[in-house]
Amino acid sequence: MAKTIGIGICGGIAAYKIAELVSKLRKKEFEVIVMMTDAATRFIPPLTLRTLSGREVISDLWTETLEWKVQHVGIAEQLDLLVIAPATANFIAKMAHGLADDLLSTVVLANTAPVLVVPSMNTNMFENPVVQNNILTLQRLGYHFMDPDSGLLACGVSGKGRLPEVDDILTQILALMAPPQDLAGKKIMVNAGSTCEDIDPVRYITNRSTGKMGYALAREAIGRGAEVILVSGSTQLPVPPGVQFIPVRSAREMCAAMLAQQPGCDVIIGAAAVGDFRAAVAAEQKIKKADDGSGRVTLELVQNPDILKELSKSKEPGCIMVGFAAETENVLENALSKLAAKKLDLIVANDVTMEGAGFACDTNICTIIRNAADIRHLPKTSKESVAQAIWDRVVELL
Ligand code: CTP
């Protein structure tokens, strides 16, 4: 059965280019349902899109239909992919805040299919932090975005904001309709989250990791066809559907679980923030306050195993091992020495002191390092996009 793509057109000058996109999608035998905002109908006549899509163009929330079903719910249920192009700053804001005051915005809310957003607007509008925040909010929720092209804009200025080439949008649509199955048949193990080291029955040592990076890696690998084992320390995140989930608490438990699952793994990624130290003895009873007047309590710490080092001792030929390096200074130098010390194939370095990088945030600023001569910097982007880039790099090595 032909797949159905919803094309939501907003009121921007690039709206006319969507006619070509609709025509190309029809030639590829997709069903195309065109929805237009009121403003979009001022830039391109619905008749053009009706003719090209071979269907009625929908723009009015209040049209009476013969079907018993509420119009926007009925449309949303048919979609395999929803594309918003051109997406204006206003429409992106509406999506980011759940507003539903016209046909297209109600379809967006009722829709459960993947969404591809293709922004196009004036450079200053695009770069405005309010717009960028709205984009991040949506990326965090799993919306896919295409970066605008740079060039001369209709408003006369030169900069970022042009609608990408129609063929590039088409390529992105095709990729989303059928994600590359380049990890099919691969057995992958990812660890994620923070470990907890008990001090006594009520207290423990942990860290600020939320697990978002590791979970994004697991979700992306599932989407690309892999068999995924997710060994997870503490997080507040939902378990990604399709993974084999192994919850653990301490670094030693995590290490034991991973060593047991290691045979046959094609890729192992250490994204967990493993606690380096634990209490030498976890007290059986709650430790009492010092009553000797010193105001001091001494806790002896001992070092935990380094999980990646342990795994690399029994690394099987062909297995790719990837680690992260959370650094606060000398990022590249420290990452390179961890790459060597842990016998890794790749290390993903980030300076956790930078705004928008590291623990407990939704973006990351990473560098993927193969060796001193092969260092690839990624821009500040969502953890989902970082996960995609890491898997792309791993696939090159596999
Ligand atoms: N790691 C590990 N076992 C540990 C500590 C870290 O497997 N006990 C892994 C992490 O999951 C990460 C990589 O090693 O992939 C680097 O972790 P990081 O915290 O940056 O470095 P450490 O090795 O702990 O070194 P240091 O804290 O001294 O910088």
Looking at the fold, whether 265 and 144 belong to one and the same domain comes out as: no
Question: Which residues does a 6 A CB cutoff place in the pocket of ligand 1?
Answer: 251, 270, 272, 274, 276, 304, 306-308, 323-326, 338
Distance in Å, CA 342 to ligand 1 centroid: 9
Please determine, for residue 74, whether its predicted confidence score (pLDDT) is greater than 90: no
Distance in Å, CA 324 to ligand 1 centroid: 7
Distance in Å, CA 354 to ligand 1 centroid: 19
Of residues 171 and 228, more confidence is placed in 228
Contact 311, 321 (CB under 8 A): yes
Looking at the fold, whether 140 and 222 belong to one and the same domain comes out as: no
Question: Is the residue at 225 inside a domain?
Answer: yes
Please determine, for residue 240, whether its predicted confidence score (pLDDT) is greater than 90: no
Question: Is the residue at 207 inside a domain?
Answer: yes
Mutation choice for ligand 1 from 190, 254, 308, CB with most ligand atoms inside 8 A: 308
Provide the annotated active-site residues.
Answer: 155
Looking at the fold, whether 50 and 78 belong to one and the same domain comes out as: yes
**Interval 374-393: pLDDT, tens:** 999 988 777 888 898 999 99
Last residue of a domain, one of 132, 150, 177: 177
Residue bearing the CA closest to ligand 1, atom 6: 274
Question: Is the residue at 162 inside a domain?
Answer: yes
pLDDT at 171: 87
Distance in Å, CA 302 to ligand 1 centroid: 15
Distance in Å, CA 255 to ligand 1 centroid: 12
Last residue of a domain, one of 145, 177, 209: 177
Any idea which of 92-106, 185-199, 229-243 has the lowest mean pLDDT?
229-243
**Interval 175-230: pLDDT, tens:** 888 878 999 999 999 999 999 999 999 999 999 899 999 999 999 999 899 999 99
Question: Is the residue at 345 inside a domain?
Answer: yes
Looking at the fold, whether 377 and 244 belong to one and the same domain comes out as: yes
Please, which pLDDT band fits residue 67 given cuts at 50, 70 and 90?
A: low
Under DSSP, is residue 285 helix (H, G, I), strand (E, B) or coil? coil
Contact 236, 246 (CB under 8 A): no
Looking at the fold, whether 246 and 349 belong to one and the same domain comes out as: yes
Of residues 26 and 139, more confidence is placed in 26
Looking at the fold, whether 136 and 261 belong to one and the same domain comes out as: no
Under DSSP, is residue 175 helix (H, G, I), strand (E, B) or coil? helix
Give the atom of ligand 1 at the shortest distance from the alpha carbon of 309. Answer: 7
Mean pLDDT, residues 308-326: 97
Question: Is the residue at 26 inside a domain?
Answer: yes
Contact 102, 61 (CB under 8 A): yes
Looking at the fold, whether 168 and 224 belong to one and the same domain comes out as: no
pLDDT at 118: 97
Give the atom of ligand 1 at the shortest distance from the alpha carbon of 272. Answer: 11
CA distance to 66, 103, 106, 162, 236, per residue, from 70 (Å): 10, 11, 11, 35, 36
**Interval 319-356: pLDDT, tens:** 999 999 989 899 999 999 999 999 999 999 998 888 77
Contact 359, 383 (CB under 8 A): no
Mean pLDDT, residues 17-43: 96
d(CA 365, CA 357): 5
**Spatial CB neighbours of 185, under 8 Å, sequence gap ≥ 6:** 225
Contact 324, 359 (CB under 8 A): no
pLDDT at 155: 74
Looking at the fold, whether 242 and 344 belong to one and the same domain comes out as: yes
Any idea which of 147-151, 161-165, 310-314, 378-382 has the lowest mean pLDDT?
378-382
Looking at the fold, whether 205 and 138 belong to one and the same domain comes out as: no
Give the atom of ligand 1 at the shortest distance from the alpha carbon of 304. Answer: 8
How many domains would you assign to the chain?
2
Give the atom of ligand 1 at the shortest distance from the alpha carbon of 327. Answer: 20
pLDDT at 111: 92
Please determine, for residue 255, whether its predicted confidence score (pLDDT) is greater than 90: yes
Question: Is the residue at 115 inside a domain?
Answer: yes
Alpha helix locations (H) across the chain?
18-27, 40-43, 46-53, 71-78, 89-96, 103-110, 123-127, 129-140, 166-177, 212-223, 251-261, 307-313, 331-341, 383-397
- Owning domain of residue 351: 187-397
Please, which pLDDT band fits residue 360 given cuts at 50, 70 and 90?
A: low
Looking at the fold, whether 258 and 361 belong to one and the same domain comes out as: yes
Question: Is the residue at 182 inside a domain?
Answer: no
Task: Quote the radius of gyration of the chain (alpha carbons, Å).
Answer: 25
Residue bearing the CA closest to ligand 1, atom 19: 326
Looking at the fold, whether 192 and 105 belong to one and the same domain comes out as: no
Distance in Å, CA 65 to ligand 1 centroid: 60
The token pair that represents 12 in the structure block: 């921007």
The token pair that represents 327 in the structure block: 């650094």
Q: What angle do the packed helices 383-397 and 212-223 form, to 10 degrees?
A: 60
Residue bearing the CA closest to ligand 1, atom 20: 325
Question: Is the residue at 218 inside a domain?
Answer: yes
Please, which pLDDT band fits residue 70 given cuts at 50, 70 and 90?
A: low
Amino acid (one-letter) located at 70: V
Give the atom of ligand 1 at the shortest distance from the alpha carbon of 276. Answer: 8
pLDDT at 166: 94
Question: What's 287's domain CATH number?
Answer: 3.40.50.10300
**Spatial CB neighbours of 243, under 8 Å, sequence gap ≥ 6:** 218, 222, 228, 229, 230
Question: What's the mean per-residue pLDDT of the chain?
Answer: 92
**Spatial CB neighbours of 163, under 8 Å, sequence gap ≥ 6:** 12, 14, 17, 85, 86, 118, 120, 148, 149, 169
Looking at the fold, whether 124 and 253 belong to one and the same domain comes out as: no
Long-range contacts, 314-319 (Cβ 8 Å, 24+): 314/259, 314/262, 315/343, 316/262, 316/263, 316/264, 316/265, 318/266, 319/265, 319/266, 319/267, 319/268
Q: State in Å, rounded, how far the first CA of the chain is from the last one.
A: 34
Residue bearing the CA closest to ligand 1, atom 27: 276
Residue bearing the CA closest to ligand 1, atom 10: 270
Last residue of a domain, one of 158, 177, 196: 177
pLDDT at 176: 87
d(CA 266, CA 186): 6
- Whose tokens are 């046959």? That residue is 264
Residue bearing the CA closest to ligand 1, atom 21: 325
Peptide bond into 201 cis (omega under 30): no
Express as a percent the part of the chain with pLDDT over 70: 96
Question: What's 159's domain CATH number?
Answer: 3.40.50.1950
